[in-house]
Amino acid sequence: MTFAVAVALVLAACGKDSSERSERRRAATTTTTTPRAVGPQTVPVPAPPPAPPTTGPPPAVTVPPGAPRSTTTTSTPATTTRPTTEPTVTAAAPTSRPGATSTTTKPKPVTRKTVVYSPTGAPKRQGDLVLPRQHENTIVVLVHGGDGSTGTRKQMRGWADFYAQHGYPSFAIDYLLAKPTTPPPVSPKPETDVKAAVQYLRGRAAELTVDPDRIVVQGFATGAALSAQAEVTPDDPFFGGNSRYPSVTDKPAAFIGFYGRYDGAVRNPTRYYGGPPGSTDPTVQARHAKANSIAHAVDAAGPALLVQGDADEPALVESATKFHDALQAAGKDATLTVVPGAGAGFDQSKSGALTPAGQQVAQQVLEWLGARFPPS
């Protein structure tokens, strides 16, 4: 072999080795990792941090702006229309706590009575009190649903029975309905009715053996919108008149909303607010502005739990999401529970009884209440 040929072979070998190393480096720098798809998960309702030893009220729970949304979902595929079959819900594993019972436990003895909760001289408003003989000191005001022009407190019998079975007293109320015959403006009379119910219970807390600072408002559909107003406008002088008790705070301890709309939008704004959103009347403008609970999230009185089916009207899903985000941005304790495949009213049958999905979500509500208002 000549010297020139030997040199050529050496150079060729070096070039090949260099080329192979270059190819390996190129492959290493261009390799990408495909992210693993993550399916829907069930996230337990978070409990607030323990309060420090003190004799005063516990500090408010602060959720930093931009924190991940607290949600509870299931693996049921989402749909775009209200399902014809019962949606399923996977409830978070319950935690043991004193006073809690299973859904199969024999119902506790209860006292039921209908009372007038409105102040003397105000339009008569009634509510159904359900008091287990042995009960928690937290009481829940149940505000029925409907489209704002229909509905009755009797719709709340299933929820009242569920709460009684688990040792919680409840108070299901009627409120002014925006019927075609109701003189305009309807606002803020129904909102004031909910506030008066809170005041009524606070004034009789000792008699009912409940804590005046543990009055929770829970609403459904239109009732959720009204209850949200109680949550974000505590003791607001805008809600005055003879339908409200003087010198008694109307501040609720917490809010639970099922498939509500929280931006103040209603079907007939002219009848409800006395004029359209674009009215130049300052009084009408004030009614519209006050009814937007999302805009007043910073004034929320206590923790909030929002329950929303993702097969409901898109505007309602969006409204619940925006309200939750606004509450968290304001540093409030807010939880959004999303129920895939569920529409409005998924929790109750026509008879008013809780559906299987309703019972499972109700168990989550119990856990949420128990974490924020532990038995004393």
pLDDT tens digits along 221-248:
999 999 999 999 999 999 989 999 999 9
Would you kindly state where each structural domain of the chain is located, as residue ranges? 110-372
Q: How far is CA 300 from CA 171, 173, 264, in A?
A: 22, 22, 16
297 phi and psi angles, rounded to 5 deg = -60, -30
DSSP-derived pairing of the beta strands 304-309 and 334-339: parallel
pTM as predicted:
0.75
Evaluate whether 373 touches 365 at the Cβ level (below 8 Å): no
CA end-to-end span of the chain, whole Å?
99
Tell me how crowded residue 367 is: count the other CB atoms within 10 A of its CB. Answer: 19
Does position 98 have pLDDT exceeding 70, yes or no? no
Q: For residues 19 and 326, which has the higher predicted lDDT (pLDDT)?
A: 326
pLDDT tens digits along 31-60:
333 333 333 333 344 444 444 443 333 333
Averaged pLDDT, 77-94: 36
**Which CATH number describes the domain made up of 110-372?**
3.40.50.1820
User: Which residues contact residue 98 at a Cβ distance below 8 angstroms, ignoring those fewer than 6 apart?
Assistant: 375
User: Which residues contact residue 243 at a Cβ distance below 8 angstroms, ignoring those fewer than 6 apart?
Assistant: 118, 119, 122, 123, 189, 192, 193, 196
269 by DSSP, 3-state: which?
helix
Q: Which of 370, 363, 337, 366 is nearest to 91 (CA)?
A: 363
pLDDT tens digits along 121-177:
999 999 999 999 999 999 999 999 999 999 999 999 999 999 999 999 999 999 999
Averaged pLDDT, 316-336: 98
User: Which residues contact residue 72 at a Cβ distance below 8 angstroms, ignoring those fewer than 6 apart?
Assistant: 42, 43, 44, 45, 92, 335, 337, 338, 364
